[in-house]
Structure 1
Amino acid sequence: MRRLLRPVLGVATAALAVLACTAPATPASAADTPYDVLVFSKTAGFRHDSIAVGTQTIRDLGAANSFTVTATEDAGVFTTGNLAQYEAVVFLNTTGDVLNASQQTAFESYIGSGGGYVGVHAAADTEYGWSFYGNLVGAYFRSHPAIAQATVRVENRAHAATAHLPQNWTRTDEWYDFQANPRPGARILANLDESSYSGGVMGADHPIAWCKTYAGGRSFYTGAGHTQASYSEPAFRAHLLGGIRYAAGRTKADCRAETGYTTLYNGSTTGWSQAGPGSFTNSDATLSSTGGMGLYWYSAKQFTNYSLKLDWRIAGDDNSGVFIGFPPSSDPNSAINNGYEVQIDPTDTADRTTGAVYGFKSADLAARDAALNPAGEWNTYELLVEGERLQVFLNGVKINDFTNTDPVRSLAGHIGIQNHGTGDDVSFRNIRIKELGSTNPPPGSNTTVQAEAYNSANGVTVVGKTGANGGQVLGYIDPGDWAAYNNLDLTGVTSLRARIASAGPGGTIQVRTGSTTGTVLGSVSAPNTGNWNTFVDVSAPLSNVPSGTRNVYLTFTGSGGSLFDVDDFTLVRGGGGTGPITGLGGKCLDVRNGSSADGTQIQILTCNGSAAQTWTVTPNSTIRALGKCLDVNGGASADGTKIQLWTCNGGGAQNWSAQSNGTLRNPQTGKCLDVSNNSSADGQAVHLWTCHTNANQRWILP
């Protein structure tokens, strides 16, 4: 282990209180509107001795949970008129062919009219010749080993049938194998760990409980429930109750099939950072908000074109939200000012209530109300981002469709969840994402990566530091060290920008692909910045950059030890061009009086298409008009320093870097191009100012 010679400054306080993994009690929810359930247990094959106790269990559940039960083994009740009185029909350990053709037709009509089906255990050993039923139940029985104790891996803990369960549920039952895997057509709620018992034949993916919508109705199936003892287990009884409530439409769930998602949080907080006050506790693979107003954001990566899914629950009249499309920052206000929030708060105004894009577009409130579970129950969001279009789904139902038209905002960026403040109690589970990759990142759409979020590395150390985006940096960098970042999209990348700090000798960041000895695409100088907590942006152009997804290697050179720290780095795409630069009030960046004399003041003016407003932008380099360069007077860094036109000289005072939040930053000073006095009046001067994200620092480039 290498010796750490430099003292660590400003180590960040841990954002999470990691608690013992004890399953919290499920909050009580409002009583369901009364409904009726038919329990059908006819057998034409093996008959389970648990049918009677199972039937009584469902009666008991009904008595305590607002539904009445009719139990029968008479298939004659399957008529269109009779079935219409029931919100759900339970096939309790049925076996063989139990319905004739007319009864099957009546049941198909019942499901098509929005009815609910619950299949328990041997319901999958029923009606093999009836394809409608096979699709409804989801899979047919194949075989089973002897009754055994096994571990059930609960993969969806938002559904009412599984929300109360731990991630690993150990119990004894008769464990079915199925003729086909139901995953392609159903949302799997739980699967079996075949290594925990003997005789399973489905392999690593062995679903045992699932839900789906089919032909207009709702279906829930559980492979548990063979033994009499099952029906005395509180966890199994709650599992069965949740399935009945879902089938009856008394609780909502996203039961669409789900594949291809990558977990961002399911107990592990790797890659996450707290911005601002408050935090989230982490217990039982559940994040619960405390204090605020802050933001817990996934700092390891930004996303473009994706489906983000997460499960959330409020305790009462609480406030939170999911933020998307914001740049990296340790300030939670950056997400508010630069990104978009999909709100969680069922009682606020239309444009600020659950499902709304906060302050921009209300949800379809009728659709939202029909899909929303009340306080105390879990809900599932899907945020589907395709370019600048955002679709919001609540429990599988589309409730909002929003298109970003603000040129200084984007739906591409980081994602995060809000801890709104004391008394706003919101919990989150199972945050996952599927990157769609259907379109290449557009020119000007940059990708920022937290330097500490490497996939492999040599020699470097992750260091907590105040002022770092994400609260950590890649530190203790010596010559010959390196860090690798897998699967970065290099399409259209023209340069690399890095945020660094150094009180050491400084050095160079080399950018390579393929390996640590691959061709150098470019080299970024990382100088001494005067202090280990003084951050500056440094950049350099890249050449011969391949298109598509590649593994990127940062290799470090220099003399001595502890060269510099890297906070984050940005893959900057093209986007340079010639034309107007527009800013505050829609006014254009203008060379005063059209004069090309050195020292001419730069201002904003009503756009007129003149040469004085025609700028040529070279990414991470110069901005030129009238044959000269946009320049910081004297290279000074004081707030209010004049911005002028000057003969191009290649100096740092003439280098400008477009940020993903719309600002234009001068890397040498770390400050931004700003309209003085926040005034859009014609002739208002621009100057240098400490960077923020207000409108007077946001610019639209050609």
Structure 2
Amino acid sequence: MRTHLKAALGLFAAAVLCLVPQAAALPAAEGQALAAHGETRAAADPAYRILVFSKTAGFRHSSIDDGIAALRDLGTANNFTVDATEDGQAFTTGNLAQYKAVVFLSTTGDVLNGAQQTAFEGYIQGGGGYVGIHAAADTEYDWPFYEGLAGALFHSHPAIQSATVEVEDRAHDATAHLGDTWQRTDEWYNYRTNPRTTAHVLASLDESSYTGGTMSGDHPIAWCSDYRGGRAFYTGGGHTDESYAEPAFRRHLLGGIRWAAGTTHADCRPETGYTALFDGSSTTGWRQAGPGGFTLADGTLTSRGGLGMLWYSAEEFTGDYSLKLDWKAAGDDNSGVLIGFPASDDPWSAVDNGYEIQIDATDAADRTTGAVYGFRSADIAARDAALNPPGEWNTYELRVTGERLEIFLNGRKINDYTNTDPARSLRQGHVGIQNHGDGDEVAFRDIRVKRGGGQEPGPRSGEVKGVNGKCLDVDGGQTADGTEVQVWTCNGSAAQRWTVSGDGSLRALGKCLDVSGGASADGTRIQLWTCNGSGAQVWAAQSDGTVRNPQSGKCLDASGGTWNDGTPVHLWTCHTAANQKWTLP
């Protein structure tokens, strides 16, 4: 929804510059070759470097040379530089620091020694990216960190043959270019474990379409995850020499690299328990209210005309639920997701009686992407850090718990709103998508719901925000035991990237947020320390916004009465004032 008056020209220009990077200037022949292979992207990425590592201590794939050549071609066309090596001595803290992602290209066996493993663990924990291709899953069986990073390890494989790949996520940049299914020939690995509970599955194999699958009909073949502070992408394809000449497979690799390098964003949290409201095949159960409508093609609903709304009339949602959907704006377009409204064929009834979660690049703060329209602006810094530009897909999760609405964009929390209006209710009503008007083109895919609760718990990474919007920060990005933890202006650095782990710890730079000496006195120092599983390193977020250390019964507190850059945090009796309120990833 948008008012008829645009925001001020300066706001408009700034937003456009922020959201629509300029296209890369490529040589004509190079650009034509890219277009022929389907490897172009919506906008230019900033220049970066990746390391391609292809050392083998077991079987060696003949396709490695073709893979390196393909990755170099992709780099030339997409503004990244490829350094290729088979020397484990490249794995030092200083050398790895120059790379946005490290690609394990059909590595096999034990390829890194202890010191090299330690350096790579630190690189990932500091926010680095990993891309595993094919036999990367046949690597480092005795290194638990690597098994978690890869997601699953090799078990066996049948003969090379054609199989049907079922694309489960068409929003991630590695799979958005594909249809619902993808027919291709490769050597299809069986894995020792199923990664579905620890990673977000992008594509899986239809075991009935080939012979030799041994994973009982649930056979992931490509996935991503936020792992120990970094990003991990794996694809099982890439055994054959021919794979690296396939346009669709090359684009698949490009998307994995872009995501691992942090140039595009996606929701890579594990996802189970959702059921489809719109699966791409039909709009059964949906109903158009008001003028205009949506065009259905390629599993995608694209808005046209309006102002109207397509709403799910088959069910009214009551109680707690999580609604997820993928969306893409063509440019500075307007739409929204509507929830908590009564059944009506009047689209304005949904606006007046429910809530709209906005999609709009350039309106006022409480009416732009991520806002609860007219009620609460998104956290703009968090929103901008998670948002993909026009032309690329994004994923919303709208999580309703009682009268609380949490909004996640590409897996990152950007808004938290509690309804206090007795005339409205978040926990009872219908859901819908808006077609705003002529010239507004927004597309939607894969609308699904999980009744009774939201996204599965598990490791989540991002900023921990506190008083005055400042971030929980490790002083100087140091990793020594005892380093002070403070509040600082948010800057996106690894020193401000915290992982909320399933064991209750808060981790940054590979270490844990720790109560000094396990003490409980007011004013006890909070520091960074080697993770040890003690009660001094357990933290629990409370419904009042505080973060409590259960062992002491006291709260994480920004010290003093004014909070500038460098203000240390300490332990203090819980009192729920502003300096004890924190927003976790």
TM-score, normalising length: structure 2 = 0.70
Matched with 1:392 is 407
- Give the Cα separation in 2 of the matches to 1:139 and 1:26: 28
SS at match of 2:197: helix
Of residues 452, 460, 479, the one that matches 1:436 is 452
Contact 2:39 2:251 in 1 (8 A): no
Matched with 1:176 is 189
Contact 1:26 1:376 in 2 (8 A): no
Aligned ranges 1:530-541 → 2 under 5 Å: none
Contact 2:201 2:220 in 1 (8 A): yes
Matched with 2:345 is 330
- Give the Cα separation in 1 of the matches to 2:358 and 2:415: 11
Q: Would you say 1:401 and 2:416 are equivalent positions?
A: yes
Matched with 1:29 is 42
Greater share of strand: 1
Task: Say if 1:385 and 1:26 are closer, same or farther in 2 by CA, change over 3 A.
Answer: farther
Aligned ranges 1:530-609 → 2 under 5 Å: none
SS at match of 1:251: coil
Structure 1 position 437, deviation (Å)? 6.3
Matched with 1:495 is none
Contact 2:371 2:415 in 1 (8 A): yes
Structure 1 position 312, deviation (Å)? 0.2
Structure 1 position 398, deviation (Å)? 0.3
SS at match of 1:337: helix
Instruction: Look up the equivalent residue of 1:278 and give its one-letter code.
Output: G
Matched with 1:424 is 440
Matched with 2:166 is 153
Q: Select the structure of larger CA radius of gyration.
A: 1
Contact 2:109 2:141 in 1 (8 A): yes
Task: Say if 1:271 and 1:395 are closer, same or farther in 2 by CA, change over 3 A.
Answer: same
Q: Would you say 1:256 and 2:272 are equivalent positions?
A: no
- Give the Cα separation in 2 of the matches to 1:156 and 1:306: 20
Matched with 1:342 is 357
Of residues 21, 39, 43, the one that matches 2:52 is 39
Structure 1 position 352, deviation (Å)? 0.3
- Give the Cα separation in 2 of the matches to 1:111 and 1:119: 13
Contact 1:310 1:381 in 2 (8 A): yes
Of residues 213, 226, 230, the one that matches 1:213 is 226
- Give the Cα separation in 2 of the matches to 1:351 and 1:135: 40
- Give the Cα separation in 1 of the matches to 2:183 and 2:436: 36
Residue identity over aligned pairs, in percent, reads 71
Q: Would you say 1:357 and 2:372 are equivalent positions?
A: yes
Matched with 1:321 is 336
Matched with 1:90 is 103
- Give the Cα separation in 2 of the matches to 1:421 and 1:27: 29
- Give the Cα separation in 2 of the matches to 1:292 and 1:47: 58
Contact 2:278 2:445 in 1 (8 A): yes
Q: Give unmatched runs, 5+ long, in structure 1.
A: 1-24, 439-702
- Give the Cα separation in 2 of the matches to 1:60 and 1:87: 18
- Give the Cα separation in 2 of the matches to 1:437 and 1:197: 36
- Give the Cα separation in 1 of the matches to 2:358 and 2:81: 37
Extract structure 1 runs of 4+ deviating beyond 3 A: 25-28
Matched with 1:277 is 291
C-alpha offsets along residues 173-232 of structure 1, whole Å, 9 cap, x if unaligned?
Answer: 000000000000000000000110011111211000000000100000000000010000
Contact 2:321 2:400 in 1 (8 A): yes
SS at match of 2:49: strand
C-alpha offsets along residues 378-416 of structure 1, whole Å, 9 cap, x if unaligned?
Answer: 000000001110000000000000001111011120000
Matched with 1:519 is none
Matched with 1:614 is none
Contact 1:27 1:376 in 2 (8 A): no
Matched with 1:228 is 241
- Give the Cα separation in 1 of the matches to 2:251 and 2:39: 11
- Give the Cα separation in 2 of the matches to 1:26 and 1:419: 30
C-alpha offsets along residues 7-40 of structure 1, whole Å, 9 cap, x if unaligned?
Answer: xxxxxxxxxxxxxxxxxx9995110011000000
- Give the Cα separation in 1 of the matches to 2:83 and 2:52: 6
Of residues 312, 317, 323, the one that matches 1:308 is 323
Instruction: Look up the equivalent residue of 1:96 and give its one-letter code.
Output: G
- Give the Cα separation in 2 of the matches to 1:372 and 1:431: 19
- Give the Cα separation in 1 of the matches to 2:192 and 2:295: 42
C-alpha offsets along residues 104-142 of structure 1, whole Å, 9 cap, x if unaligned?
Answer: 000000001100000000000000000000000000000
- Give the Cα separation in 1 of the matches to 2:114 and 2:52: 20
Of residues 370, 380, 383, the one that matches 2:398 is 383
Aligned ranges 1:596-635 → 2 under 5 Å: none
Aligned ranges 1:121-140 → 2 under 5 Å: 121-140=134-153
Matched with 1:111 is 124
Aligned ranges 1:13-24 → 2 under 5 Å: none
- Give the Cα separation in 2 of the matches to 1:169 and 1:280: 26
C-alpha offsets along residues 410-443 of structure 1, whole Å, 9 cap, x if unaligned?
Answer: 11200000000111100000000000169xxxxx
Instruction: Look up the equivalent residue of 1:391 and give its one-letter code.
Output: E
- Give the Cα separation in 1 of the matches to 2:158 and 2:109: 20
- Give the Cα separation in 2 of the matches to 1:237 and 1:56: 11
- Give the Cα separation in 2 of the matches to 1:339 and 1:26: 41
Structure 1 position 297, deviation (Å)? 0.4
- Give the Cα separation in 2 of the matches to 1:291 and 1:437: 34
Instruction: Look up the equivalent residue of 1:115 and give its one-letter code.
Output: G
- Give the Cα separation in 2 of the matches to 1:145 and 1:379: 36
SS at match of 1:70: strand
Matched with 1:410 is 425
- Give the Cα separation in 1 of the matches to 2:114 and 2:206: 39
Contact 2:222 2:236 in 1 (8 A): yes
Instruction: Look up the equivalent residue of 1:49 and give its one-letter code.
Output: S
Task: Say if 1:86 and 1:260 are closer, same or farther in 2 by CA, change over 3 A.
Answer: same
Instruction: Look up the equivalent residue of 2:316 and give its one-letter code.
Output: Q
Q: Would you say 1:77 and 2:93 are equivalent positions?
A: no
TM-score, normalising length: structure 1 = 0.58
SS at match of 2:350: helix
Matched with 1:198 is 211
Instruction: Look up the equivalent residue of 1:320 and give its one-letter code.
Output: S
- Give the Cα separation in 2 of the matches to 1:31 and 1:357: 30
Of residues 198, 201, 224, the one that matches 1:185 is 198
Instruction: Look up the equivalent residue of 2:212 and give its one-letter code.
Output: G
Contact 1:118 1:221 in 2 (8 A): yes
SS at match of 2:295: strand
SS at match of 2:145: helix
SS at match of 1:238: helix
- Give the Cα separation in 2 of the matches to 1:165 and 1:265: 18
- Give the Cα separation in 2 of the matches to 1:272 and 1:135: 41
Q: Would you say 1:291 and 2:305 are equivalent positions?
A: yes
Q: Would you say 1:62 and 2:75 are equivalent positions?
A: yes
Aligned ranges 1:646-661 → 2 under 5 Å: none
Task: Say if 1:60 and 1:281 are closer, same or farther in 2 by CA, change over 3 A.
Answer: same
Contact 2:401 2:453 in 1 (8 A): no
- Give the Cα separation in 2 of the matches to 1:26 and 1:199: 32
Contact 2:39 2:247 in 1 (8 A): no
Contact 2:172 2:393 in 1 (8 A): yes
- Give the Cα separation in 2 of the matches to 1:285 and 1:422: 22
Contact 1:114 1:216 in 2 (8 A): yes
SS at match of 1:31: coil
C-alpha offsets along residues 332-391 of structure 1, whole Å, 9 cap, x if unaligned?
Answer: 111011000000012111000000000000000000000000000000000000111000
Contact 1:26 1:164 in 2 (8 A): no
- Give the Cα separation in 2 of the matches to 1:437 and 1:284: 30
Structure 1 position 309, deviation (Å)? 0.3
